[in-house]
Structure formats: structure tokens, C-alpha cells
Structure 1
Amino acid sequence: MTTLLNRIELKDYAAIASALSQELAASAVERDRQAGIPHEEVRRLREAGLLPLVVPREYGGIGATWVEAYKVLQEIAKADGSTGQLYCNQLILSVVGQVSGTPAQAERYYRATAQHHLFWGNAFNTRDTRLKIEPEGDRFRVNGTKTFGTGVAAADIRVFAAVQDGVDHPIAFILPKDREGIVYNNDWDNMGQRCTASGSFTFHNVLVNPDEILGPPPSPEGAFSTLLFVVNQLAKTHVYLGIAEGALEAARDYTTTMTRPWMTSGVDRASKDPYILQHYGELWTELKAAIALCRQAAQQVQTAWEKGQALTHEERGEVAIAVYTAKAFTTKVGLDITTRIFEVMGARSTAAKYGFDRYWRDLRTFTLHDPVDYKLRDIGNWVLNQELPMISQYS
């Protein structure tokens, strides 16, 4: 660990991420089949020293910018969409104290994440209102069920949101992994993102202390207090991008080594087939365009992040439009690539042993997180009416 951390301090985390990506890729198909709780994936991220990537240096973290962190995230997702989603949440949740918490919470969680290499998981999902929180003296009790608890079963520290009677907005709180009364129902059995353990949790009279309630932030009505929702949208987009990139790389390797030319093609190998060449030309162009949009949006996110409390709502809205543009296009491109790779690999590539279908299954599952149609609607409304997107957990 010490050696890795020293290397990371020299800004070699990109090389470390590349090495980890190759390691994850070697076992991705088997881990996808087995599914289950991602203890192994979390262990590898921790041992690589990448958990405090965006924690500021003054608190002991690596201090990477969002531009840098998104590239690392894309590299991890290229190998394994599930681990990409887990790491996506790690990056976002590890800074939640700074954006949505009090100054004391920001410092506490930053230092703890950096010192102990804590892995974060969450079941925030404000659309699920079955989890209830109520005051009990100077503390709180939580009961009910919460779905989509991505990575929570393997997390050291957990973020949840519950509803309190008479309070308009969900209440977010942060708990350690050993808090009594929280039961994972082990009910995640979806077609994709199978190693994220994104199932439901049941709370049985769970105690929450006042300092575990997140916030309020220094400027609750300021634009920066909700910027993390936009940062998160682009993080998810980079997972999509990584999955698409991984799919195209896997297809290229297969085409050049395994695919046979069609009998009337007039060429001696598949890599010379004119139609296969055209397909690859189209897919490569689409991928490069998506990467360019994501890089542009990442720089705008970083600029907004650096403004902190000085960020205006108009500036936040313009960054959101840039992120939505990248997300909408990358979703379309990713689904196209993960579907069409079979056209350039051939019938034998559908064999289960290769697991090439996992790219589409992972991407299709994750891109349903929130409807991209509403992102396109918001973009159109901004283009025609100069109206900024409504702020929510998903925007």
C-alpha cells in the first residue's frame, strides 16, 4: 500500500488505474456469472489506493481534479461496468460532506476516507419513500425498506435517505457499516451490473445520531449545494463511456484474431473485409465524438467546482446542459456500439464463454438510471426558451 500511495502522490494514479483495469478485465466474465456482493472488487480498489482519489490533499487525499478522476473512472469501467459503477459512487459520495454537509462533517469524512481508505455505498433514491425517519428525544429512529443500495453491502460507510412526516425533503444520513438493525435482502438479480449488489435494505428500529444527519451546508440555497447532482451525472456518463470503449476494444481484438472473412468478400482475413472496415470506422467515429463531448463537459464541471460557493445558479444550469448533452449522446453511442460489435465479430462471438453480451447488459441496465429523454427535453427547452433545468437528484 505504501508504495502505491507514494506513486499516486506523484500523480501516477492513471497508470495504477490502467494496471487495475487490466486485472479486472481478466476476471470480468467469471465475476459477472457469479454476481454476489462485490467484496473482491472493493478490496482491489482499496489496495490500488484509489478510494481517496478526489479527497483534497489537505485532508490526506490524492487531490485529483474531476477532469483527472473521470478519466480514471472511465478506465475502470472499460474493464468492468459493475466496478465502474461502484467506483463512480465512491468518487461522488466521498465528497458529499463538502457539498451537502457542515464544515465539520466535510473535514471528518474527508480525513476518515483518506486515513482508512473507506469505501462508500448508498441507497439515496428519493423516489422510494418507504424508508421513514422519526425523532426520538435528541436522536432519530429509522424503519422501512430502501431499494437500489448500490455497493452498500460491501461499504465501510453508508449514505441513506429517508422521509420524515411533515418535512418536505428527504433527510440524508451517514452510518457506519456496523450499525445494528440494517439487513441486506440480497435481492439484486438483474440482467446487468450484476456485481454491484444494488438490492434492497430493511431497517429495523435503526438508531441515527444528530451528527450523522447530513448538513445543512454553509449556503443551503446556493448553487454549489446542488452541484454534486450534476457532477454525478457526468460520472455515470463516464461509466457508460468506459463500457462502450471496452466493448469496442474487445471486438477489435476478436475480429483481428478470430473472425473469418465472408466467403464472397474476396479477402483473406476479416480485418480487410470492406463492410467490417466501414462498421469499425463508424463505431470509432462515434466513440471519439462521445469522448470529446465528455472531456468538454468535464472541464466545465471542474471550473464550476473550483468556484465553490461563488457559483451562480445560471452557471450551474449551463454546466448541467453541457453534461446532459454528453450523457444523451454517450448513451446513444454506447448502446449502438455494444449492440453492433457482434456484426463485426460474427456468429461464434455469441458463445457464452466470451461474455461479450455483458457490455450491452451492463450499459442497458445502468443507462436506465434516469430517462435520457428528459435530458433531451431539458436541452431543447434551453436551446429554444433559454430555460435552465429544474434541480433534482437527477439533475
Structure 2
Amino acid sequence: MEALSLAEIRPAEPIDPKTVAQALASEFAKTAVTRDQLGGTPKVERDQIRASGLLGLIIPADLGGLGASWVDTLDIVRSFARVDSSIAQVFAFQHLMLATVRLFGTEAQWQPWFRQTAENNWFWGNALNPLDTRTASNIEARQREFHGKKSFCSGATDSDMLIASAIDASTQKLLIAAIPTSRSGIILHQDWDNIGQRQTDSGSADFEHVRVEEAELLTQPGPLSTPFACLRPLIAQLIFSNIYLGIAEGALAEARQYTLQQSRVWSGSLADDIRSEPYTLLHYGEFWVQLEGAKLLTERAAELLDDAWNKGEVLTAEERGKVAVAVTAAKVATTKAGLDITQRMFEVTGARATTAALRLDRFWRNLRVYTLHDPVDFKLRELGDWALNQQYPKPSFYS
């Protein structure tokens, strides 16, 4: 399949991002099953996103972007996740990386990067893993270098820019930089072959004495240095929640279609039509309640995030804490609801729905892989500390 042209996806200016996103999602859905089986880089789909103009979704309009809110941005992420959660993750990480330079860097850094991203349709990839201490930063011959191995580099393949991290050899502090993916010494490996999220390119990378300029280091204000900078992990967690929710919504939509078109009434049922089969209705009722609750929590958290984002550097620790509680609640709710629905959807579709050609198990596989990013048990402990002791979650790269 050839990539759609910009005119085909985005026929006129100004664009309506949600309309464009829906057109893209419809295209992604046509090949989602096949690409799940193949794995690898969704190059065609990434180029469709490039052509769409959506890579500049959260970039302010005066810098060439679309000036979207986090509510609208995350809504589009969720619409992609309903049909293809791998693409949703890579697309969402674009905006997480842009948020990273905005939150951790200076205006003189992030504004030019924003403009160039909007002008050139840059894709940003991830090489920031705070738990990965195998990449060191050294100053040699008055030049800083990142050297070592990285893991879980989601979206790095086919990207234009990378957010990369390393441990400062002298201070043992985490350093984060924005660098071109094409820079000499960066080697991206095609070694991501997991059971789910198979097209996120979340494999490993080698950094072989990669040059990092002083102007590329995000040190002012730096990682998690202010309440505003501490919004970064909350954006990441809320991205996860929206993708989990989108996966569950997509699973339920496909289950419903299959039930109505293919499922049969069990011989022991008193119903003569699947639409009135009591146990089938019971399961769908449970699914709906779970999703409705998770959806409301997730949408409320996004609204609070927008409020905090718009406050900028005057955001207080308490205001950030309120967002953290809301985001953490959404993360727990979407994880639990999603895992339940994607596993139990077969109870309302039946044995024939397990045929490999349908690959309905992809919803569970995708969600199971993604929800292991950081343990939900720790989120529940944080919420317990809030509920009992009124202690907000302590800022970290995971809370």
C-alpha cells in the first residue's frame, strides 16, 4: 500500500485535526491485522501521519503548529488506539517528546525545535529510559559524549530527532538531550519482537561516543526540577491511560460486531436470539460500566492537565499533586478495565472468534505488553497514601 498524499488526507486548509485523524484511523484499520502479524516499522503509516500535519498538534499556532489542547491531542491518540495501538503509541510519543523539551528546556531551545518540527514534519523518537543506567556521559576534549546501550527506544526508527538520556559520569545525575537521529554513532537495532505493540520499534540502540552539544542538553530548568517540569511523567501516564482505554474500546467494538453478526445462542439458553441472551447482555453490561468509569476518570484527568499546562511556570506543587492523583486514578481504572475486557471479550464472541485470521487476541496482547511498563500495584499504593494520609504522589519519572 502506498502512503496517502497530503492532499488526499488533508485536502484543504485550515484542517480539522479530528477529521484528519479519523481519516487516518480508517486507513490504519484496513491493515492493522496484517501489520500486527508482520511487526517491524509501520513506515507507510508514519509517512501518512507526516503528511497529515498532525505531528505539530500541540505546537502553538504562532510557531507553526495546530495549537491543540491536551484534551484534543489525547482524544486523537485514543482514536488511533482503537484500531492500532502501536501507531497510537508512536504518535503519542511525538507529543511527549515535544513536551519534554518544553518542560525541561529553555525558550531559546524549545521554540526553534517547535518551529522546525512544524515546518519539516519532524518525527521525534524516544531514547530516554530513566531506569537504564548503561549509557554514560563523559566530557572528553571539551566535548560531551553519550556512550553505551539504550533499551525500549519506542519510535526511534524512522525518526528525525531523539530525546536521549545518560548518566553523568562525574555527578551520577541524569542528563537529557535532544539530538538528531542521524548523528554519527547512533545505531538503532531492529530487535523488537514482542507479543504485543509489535510496530512501536521499541528495540535497543547503541550510542558509540555520540557528540552532544551544550545547546542540546535540557538542563534549564532540567528534569523534574519544578512543579511545571514535573508534569512530564503525568503526561506520559495519561498517554498510557488513553491508549489503554482506546484498546479496550476497540476490543469492545469488534466484539460487539462479531456478536451481532456471527455469535450463536448456546443450546442451554432460553433465548432464541443473541440480542436477548441474558448472560451475553450481562457481560456487555459489565463491560460498559467499566469503560464508562474509566473514560470519565481519563477525561477529567486530561482537563486538569490542560489547566496545569496553561499555568506554566507558576504551577504550584499542590496543583501538580491534584493532577497526579487524577492521572493515577485513570491509569489504574484503564488498566484494570482494559485487561478484563480484552480477556473476557471471547465470552461474548465464542469459540469461532479465536480463529487466528481475526487476531482478536491482539487487543489483549497489546494491552498486556503496554501495561507492564510500570506496575499498577505501585499506583494503587500511591492512591492509598493519598486516600489515607492526603499525601500526593511523589514526582518521579513514573508518577
TM-score range, shorter chain: over 0.9
Match of 2:244 in 1: 240
Cα distance, 1:136 vs structure 2: 2.3
**AA paired with 2:60?**
P
Secondary structure at the counterpart of residue 51 of structure 1: helix
Q: Of the candidates 255, 258, 262, which is equivalent to residue 254 of structure 1?
A: 258
Residues 273-352 of structure 1 mapped to structure 2, 5 A cutoff: 273-352=277-356
Match of 2:40 in 1: 36
Secondary structure at the counterpart of residue 356 of structure 1: coil
Match of 2:367 in 1: 363
Secondary structure at the counterpart of residue 153 of structure 1: coil
Cα distance, 1:288 vs structure 2: 1.1
Cα distance, 1:9 vs structure 2: 3.5
Match of 2:228 in 1: 224
Cα distance, 1:8 vs structure 2: 6.7
**AA paired with 2:71?**
V
Mapped partners of 2:13, 2:301: distance in 1: 25
Cα distance, 1:338 vs structure 2: 0.3
Q: Does 1:16 align with 2:20?
A: yes
Q: Of the candidates 261, 267, 280, which is equivalent to residue 263 of structure 1?
A: 267
Cα distance, 1:215 vs structure 2: 3.0
Q: Of the candidates 113, 130, 133, which is equivalent to residue 129 of structure 1?
A: 133
Q: Of the candidates 158, 162, 183, which is equivalent to residue 187 of structure 2?
A: 183
Mapped partners of 1:288, 1:23: distance in 2: 27
Match of 1:209 in 2: 213
Displaced runs of 4 or more, over 4 A: 2-8
Cα distance, 1:169 vs structure 2: 2.3
**AA paired with 1:370?**
D
CA RMSD of aligned residues (A): 1.7
Mapped partners of 1:157, 1:218: distance in 2: 19
Contact 1:95–1:106 (CA under 8 A) maintained in structure 2: no
Cα distance, 1:319 vs structure 2: 0.7
Q: Does 1:138 align with 2:134?
A: no
Query: What TM-score results when the alignment is normalised by the length of structure 2?
Result: 0.95
Contact 2:101–2:178 (CA under 8 A) maintained in structure 1: no
Cα distance, 1:393 vs structure 2: 0.8
Moved more, 371-380 or 42-51: 42-51
Mapped partners of 1:74, 1:221: distance in 2: 30
Contact 1:38–1:151 (CA under 8 A) maintained in structure 2: no
Q: 1:116 to 1:224 in 2, by over 3 A?
A: same
Cα distance, 1:40 vs structure 2: 2.2
Cα distance, 1:242 vs structure 2: 0.5
Mapped partners of 2:223, 2:282: distance in 1: 53
Match of 2:119 in 1: 115
Mapped partners of 1:326, 1:76: distance in 2: 19
Secondary structure at the counterpart of residue 163 of structure 1: strand
Structure 1 residues 259-314: Cα deviation after superposition (integer angstroms, max 9, x where no partner): 11112324343222111111111101111111111111111111111110110011
Contact 1:102–1:218 (CA under 8 A) maintained in structure 2: no
Mapped partners of 1:3, 1:275: distance in 2: 45
Mapped partners of 2:14, 2:104: distance in 1: 27
User: Structure 1: 5+ residue runs without aligned partners?
Assistant: none
**AA paired with 2:134?**
R
Q: Of the candidates 192, 197, 203, which is equivalent to residue 201 of structure 2?
A: 197
Contact 1:94–1:113 (CA under 8 A) maintained in structure 2: no
Secondary structure at the counterpart of residue 179 of structure 1: coil
Cα distance, 1:250 vs structure 2: 0.5
Q: Of the candidates 136, 142, 157, which is equivalent to residue 153 of structure 1?
A: 157
Structure 1 residues 22-60: Cα deviation after superposition (integer angstroms, max 9, x where no partner): 211111110011101232231121122211111111100
Mapped partners of 2:275, 2:191: distance in 1: 43
Cα distance, 1:202 vs structure 2: 0.9
Question: Percent identity of the aligned residues?
Answer: 42
Q: 1:97 to 1:9 in 2, by over 3 A?
A: farther
Match of 1:386 in 2: 390
Structure 1 residues 342-382: Cα deviation after superposition (integer angstroms, max 9, x where no partner): 00000010011001000000001001111111111111101
Contact 1:78–1:242 (CA under 8 A) maintained in structure 2: yes
Cα distance, 1:92 vs structure 2: 1.1
User: Structure 2: 5+ residue runs without aligned partners?
Assistant: 1-5
Mapped partners of 1:306, 1:14: distance in 2: 22
Q: Does 1:70 align with 2:74?
A: yes
Mapped partners of 1:215, 1:141: distance in 2: 15
Query: What TM-score results when the alignment is normalised by the length of structure 1?
Result: 0.96
